[in-house]
Structure formats: C-alpha cells, structure tokens
Chains A and B, each alone.
Chain A
Amino acid sequence: MAVGYHDYYETLGVPRTASEDEIRRAYRKLARENHPDVNKDPAAEQRFKEVSEAYEVLRDPEKRAQYDRFGRNWKAGQDVSGSSGFRGRSGRQGSGGNGEYVEFDDADFSEFFEGLFGGRGRRRGGFGGFDGRGMETEAVLELSLEEAARGGRRTLSLDGDDFEVEIPPGVRDGQVLRARDDLLLRIRLRRHPRFRVRDADVYTDLRVAPWEAALGATVEVRTLRGTAKLKVPPGSSSGRRLRLRGEGLGGDLYAEVKIMVPKKLSKKERQLFEQLAKTSTFDPREERR
C-alpha cells in the first residue's frame, strides 16, 4: 500500500483548475491505456489503481473540495478507529446518466485515501461534511464463514464507542443488521479457502482415494461448526454431492467428491493398479460417445 501524499491532479495529468469534463476525459484516456484487461504490463495495473483512486476523488465535488482543503495535511485529522474486521463500507457508486461508475474496494486504495476519506460511509470526526450525527450510518462487518455460522455476541468499536451486537447464527452475505438506532451493519463474508457459499448452502471438496470412491467409505469432513462423519457410497465418481443437512448458512453443506490419485506409486501399488487395468472392463468415456 502506498504511503504519503498523492497528487491526484498530477496522476491524471490535469491542472488544479480542471473542469469535471477535463477530469473525466483524462481519466478515460489513462484508464484505456492502463486497464489490466488491455495492457499486460504488470506496472499498468498499479497505474490503473492510482488513476482510479484519483478519479474517485476528483469526480466527486465534495471529495474534491475536501482533498483540496486537507490533502497535504491528511495525517492531521486521522482518528481511524474500530476493532479488527470492522471498517467503512466499500462498494459501487453509480453516477446515473451515462451509466458510468467506478467500483472500488478500500483494500485497493492507498493509505492516503483511507486516511483522508476513511472507508465509504465511515463516520469520522475531524473533517467537515463527514459528520453523520442525526443520520443513519451503515458500516461493513466482515465475518469468517465459521463466525457467520456460529453467530453470537460480538463487541465492536466505532469512533471510540464500544457496543455489543448480536449476530444471528447463519447470517448471510449482504444481510443488514441494526446495531444501534443510528447504525446499520452490512455483513460481508470473507472468502474461505475450503468452503464456497451459494445462497444458504455451502459447498466443500471431499477428497477421497480411488478405492474409497469405488468401494465406499466413511470419512471425516470439516464443517463450519467442526467435523462430521460422512458415508461415501460405493461407486461415487468425482462431482457427486453428499448432503449434510442443516450444516450450511441456514441451508445445507454439500461435500463434493473429488477423487485424488497418489502422485507416486509404490511398486506394489503400481502392480495392483496394472492388474486392475487389465481386469476391469470399465470405460469412463463410454457414456459420451
């Protein structure tokens, strides 16, 4: 993450007096040149992020005015607070009319941007125009899938105020909870290396040995709440889904059979597989012909 003052006008190559139209044209030109889908130069992606960040600020008259006023002294007003996993909202901002919009994630923007603006919608002191008193504020609460499945009470901190919030078990991505009279929490579920979420159901790979898939076996599978024993029926091919009822996020957990083969075979294993190859009449490609 880049640190220090960013001259957004310089990034876009426009004078400080540039009109909205000039800023938009400069952004589009630089975006076309540096878009990661168009330009394969690894440095282009970083340039694209910088250009997007500059445009996100300069396209918005309020943010631009704030940047012009406080930009160089951005550290002076910092009072970023909040417990781990609690941050301002990020997301899409539509501009209506021409259908153009910028999507961004706070994680992609520099520390400078974070320091000056916080996350989108974060209520902060220190800068005029960002005081949300008397208004309803929305913030994002990031949870792991395990935390979402378990639910429970959680202590959060916002602008120095600590408060508790009850997370209902099985809470879903995008769900909005009311934390206080003036604060809504939008749930964001972190990606999980092992589980995939589809609506209320959760999917995971169930790795099995070829003989377990062929003969059937009882294997242990990780769930969001611990582990469970699962019976793999004989003759299970890769992709077969085995359901664990009620182990999803309000839905079920599906374990998808994935047959794994040892990378190296011992002499004995090789002999047995060769014997099987000679004996078996099974043709896995037969159905497709």
Chain B
Amino acid sequence: MTATLVPRGAPPVEIAVLARRSGVDPGLTRRFVALGLLDRGYTPDAAARVARAARLRRDLALNCAGAVLACELLARIDDLERRLSRYEQR
C-alpha cells in the first residue's frame, strides 16, 4: 500500500499574487500572513480577508496584530450568526 505524505501547515502562500488580488501592499500582506491571518486556511476568499484586514487597520487605526484579531473575531461572529440562524429556523 502506498501512503501519500501531506506536508503539515498551510500551503505556501504566494504573497505577490495575494497582494495583487487584494490590492494591498506586498509588505503589509506579508505581515498579515505572518501574524496568522490565513491560519484558518488558504481558501478562495484569502484576498478578501487581506483586503478586510487592511481596511480595518486603516480606518480604525489598528495595528497589524489588532486588525488580524478583529478579522478573526468578525469571522467567528459570522460563523456563530449563521449557526444561530440555522438553529432558529428549526
């Protein structure tokens, strides 16, 4: 039997591609990624998450870590609201 080895951790993220898609400066994009913005997975909405973090940082005068935390909490709120609405529909 052949076992397929899967590397641990998130797949490598091409910062330049992510920066271009999100319209965010590559240096800032790299910083968000390093702070764990995409630790939940490099999904198709990764560029949108980077753009959101950049907007929050800019508009609310957050530092990078604060913007990443805000994104994480907003994603969790979205998730909980979705679950709650499913629960209420039952």
Binding site for B on A (CB under 8 A): 28, 31-32, 35, 37-38, 48, 52, 98-103, 198
Contacts and interface: CB of A to CB of B under 8 A. Distances in A.
Given A32-B60, A100-B61, 4 more contacts: A37-B74, A38-B56, A52-B59, A102-B58
Contacts, number: 28
Nearest to A198: B20
A112 to B, nearest CB: 21
6 closest residue pairs by CB, A with B: A100-B61, A37-B52, A31-B60, A31-B59, A32-B60, A35-B59
**Prevailing SS type, chain B contact patch:** helix
Contact of A103 (B56, B58, B70): B58
Interface in B64-80: 70, 74
A98 B74 contact: no
B74 A38 contact: yes
**Prevailing SS type, chain A contact patch:** mixed
Contacts of B60: 28, 31-32, 35
Interface string B44-70: 000000001001101111010000001
Interface of B: 20, 52, 55-56, 58-61, 63, 70, 74
24 contacts: A28-B60, A28-B61, A31-B59, A31-B60, A32-B60, A35-B56, A35-B59, A35-B60, A37-B52, A37-B55, A37-B56, A37-B74, A38-B56, A38-B70, A38-B74, A48-B59, A52-B59, A98-B61, A99-B61, A100-B58, A102-B58, A102-B59, A103-B58, A198-B20
Contacts of B70: 38
A254 to B, nearest CB: 15
Nearest to B52: A37
